[in-house]
Amino acid sequence: MARPSLSDPRYYFNRHESWLAFNRRVLEEALDEGNPLLERVKFLAITASNLDEFVEVRVSGLLQQVEHGNPLAGPDGLSPEEQLQRLAAELHSFVAAQYDCWNQLLPSLRREGIRILSVAHLDRAGHDAMDLFFTRQVDPILTPVTIDPSHPFPHVLNKALCVAFQL
């Protein structure tokens, strides 16, 4: 019997598709009604955090390879461009599944007295609490920055919330 060639792409999983499959299994835990409600919310949050890092690191790496004209296929036989095409559909499907999961969790959270409200739905006490939180927690850490010819654009931290206004 001949030994199989380890260079045959049939013997390899795409590492990015494998990672997404793992994250799907984490999402299944969020959908499992046998798990406690807040654990399910945590599983969903884990998938969101994982997906954020996946796009920032892995997808951006593939995009850089495509931009630099790297046609080299990985062990699975897929070029960076082919990987991106396959990942695009899977990523869209995964994000849709995350939203479906969240929409399934919301009614259960409401039944337990946990509500997610927009500012428009807050009562007077809610507005007052929000104003107090802003005054004590948010306003002290706001840092105004001027950008003009004598003040170059500042370094923006990854995942930092930044707001710009033009006056």
pLDDT digits (tens, 9 = 90+) for 119-161: 898 999 999 999 999 999 988 888 788 888 888 888 877 777 7
Q: Distance between CA atoms of 72 and 80, rounded to whole angstroms?
A: 7
Homologous superfamily of the 13-141 domain (CATH): Polyphosphate kinase N-terminal domain (1.20.58.310)
Taking the C-alpha atoms of residue 10 and residue 13, their distance in angstroms, rounded to an integer, is 8
Domain residue extents for the chain: 13-141
Residue 19: predicted pLDDT: 92
Residue 74 has pLDDT above 90, yes or no: no
**What pLDDT is attached to residue 7?**
78
What tens digit of pLDDT does each residue of 30-65 get?
Answer: 999 999 999 999 999 999 999 999 999 888 988 898
